[in-house]
Chains A and B, each alone.
Chain A
């Protein structure tokens, strides 16, 4: 298959896989039973989206590899997920802030991707958008509740957003490969998505009586497969059985 498209599918699929794995860590640890289920529901959607992309790659390549080869047999440097998705869960506010910033990105990204000239991507975006609208509503409402809840919650969620801010720029990063796809009308225009993202984040944070952090240095590197130290540990857990028993079928 077209290498540049494959790379782009990994970019989208990996972000979903990694944040899905992070959210799954919440299972049995949620602040309420209802929220436990809500966070893992989002996780299930993320895994579902990753699987659609990985199986599509497998289908196009048609060389015996499956979705699981892509999830379980690649190394850290071969993952292209946005850096924010691998940030550790921290407390509930940290997780909500991470999800909110990422869900808002996905909301606008998929809205634009629906117009892609690549039929598969457009269909994938349309289906995923339905799920992400719900994710965005859920995490956005928590931002407002925590921001406008108690003194303690306001302080906590503000700090979570401040801490994650440096990692937001990387979601909109492009390289020659993505720029070319944008020119062809396959990938959307990331400057446009950034503008829409910024507006929505400003709006929600305002409703939450929170302050929008100032843009300072933005971390980058995920498009080259350069990640934080956290990713290796996440993959260590996730890939353990497939790596330990390479001949086994599960």
Chain B
């Protein structure tokens, strides 16, 4: 059997593709882009939550948040390692992030303005990420699928912690309620846009579906997230900021309003409130650590 046929046979029969297997160049490139973007999102995602560690309102909340952000660093490490199996080093992936060649999830270009945002990020942002990641547990590339299995376990924990913060605040003082609703208002639309453009307008979806890198379409995943989240919001008395939201008996799903794709693309292309800040923070930490990494290497060379 020719290489290409063997590859297609494996995809067809749900056999995972492994690092040493032959794969089409575009399959490799697609994965390099998607997996590194995923890793970068974990790392850049540390910043908006890191913004509240020092100001967390209780010691318990502080250690939970700090541990959560550490988990994200761990997920980043794990995903970079998995992406390295595709023949590119972590250093190169990081260069691509810093030069703007590689992207990360646009949601992290929004600022976290109150403690309730820690709830919204955990509940909505991680909640949306989980829907996507659960689906990716069945992705065709072995190392990526295994990374997702591991990551999903921790993420569902994070989501519960986020919801707990939100529930607490939504039932707290009038000021806390206001913070909770405000966080909901700011994070709802960016969260549902995390799934990406509509299926018809997602240029790379075709191949990704054919190769089973993606297992479900953007719109299907988005619908799953909307359907599971609305009940959770109602339960704690928060309003979803969408007047068009309505149960559709026939579809057995919620219909929802039109997303503002101009804003989405504008943020992806660099105009979000925090794009510059996030990358500058990453570059500055990287540069400040340069003498430390050099020293560690020099020491290792001297002492083997």
Contacts and interface: CB of A to CB of B under 8 A. Distances in A.
Interface of A: 21, 24-25, 27-37, 40-41, 43-44, 47-48, 50-51, 54, 67-68, 71-72, 91-93, 144-146, 148-150, 152-153, 156, 237-238, 240-242, 245, 247-250
Interface stretch (B6-14, B29-37, B239-247, B292-300): B292-300
A148 B289 CA distance: 17
A241 B115 contact: yes
Nearest to B43: A33
Interface string B33-74: 000000000010011001001111111011100110110011
Nearest 5 A/B pairs, CB to CB: A31-B289, A149-B295, A153-B295, A250-B57, A241-B57
Contacts of B59: 47, 50-51, 54, 67-68, 71
A245 to B, nearest CB: 6
Interface in B261-304: 281, 285, 288-296, 298-299, 302-303
B70 A41 contact: yes
A32 B173 CA distance: 41
B63 A44 contact: yes
Contacts of A150: 291, 294-295, 298
20 contacts: A21-B54, A24-B62, A25-B54, A29-B285, A31-B293, A32-B292, A33-B76, A33-B80, A35-B289, A37-B73, A47-B59, A148-B299, A148-B303, A149-B296, A150-B298, A152-B291, A242-B57, A242-B58, A248-B176, A250-B115
A232 to B, nearest CB: 14
Contacts of B169: 250
B77 interface: yes
Given A47-B59, A245-B173, A248-B175, A27 B296 contact: no
Contacts of B58: 68, 72, 242, 250
A54 B76 CA distance: 34
Contact of B288 (A92, A149, A153, A237): A92
Nearest to A242: B57
Contact of B292 (A27, A153, A237, A241): A153
Contact of A92 (B69, B289, B299): B289
Contacts of B198: none
B292 A248 contact: no
Given A33-B43, A34-B77, A245-B175, A27 B288 contact: no
B46 A28 contact: yes
B55 A237 contact: yes
Contacts of A27: 46, 50, 53, 66, 69-70
Contact of B296 (A21, A145, A152): A145
Contacts of A241: 55-57, 115
Q: For chain A, what secondary structure do more than half of its interface residues adopt (helix, strand, loop), or is it mixed?
A: helix
B73 A33 contact: yes
A94 to B, nearest CB: 12
A238 B56 CA distance: 7
A32 B293 CA distance: 8
Given A21-B54, A28-B285, A237-B55, A152 B61 contact: no
Nearest to B56: A241
A226 to B, nearest CB: 24
A248 B177 CA distance: 11
B100 interface: no
Interface in B83-128: 115
B292 A92 contact: yes
Given A248-B176, A249-B168, A250-B115, A40 B57 contact: no
Contacts of A30: 285, 289
Nearest to A208: B299
Nearest to A93: B292
B292 to A, nearest CB: 4
B288 A240 contact: no
B285 A149 contact: no
B279 to A, nearest CB: 12
Contacts of A47: 59, 62-63, 66
A93 B227 CA distance: 50
B172 interface: yes
Contacts of B302: 148
Given A153-B291, A241-B56, 6 more contacts: A28-B281, A68-B59, A92-B292, A148-B299, A152-B294, A237-B54
Contact of A37 (B70, B289, B296): B70
Contacts of B172: 248-250
Contacts of B293: 31-32
A48 B299 contact: no
Given A48-B63, A71-B59, A28 B69 contact: yes
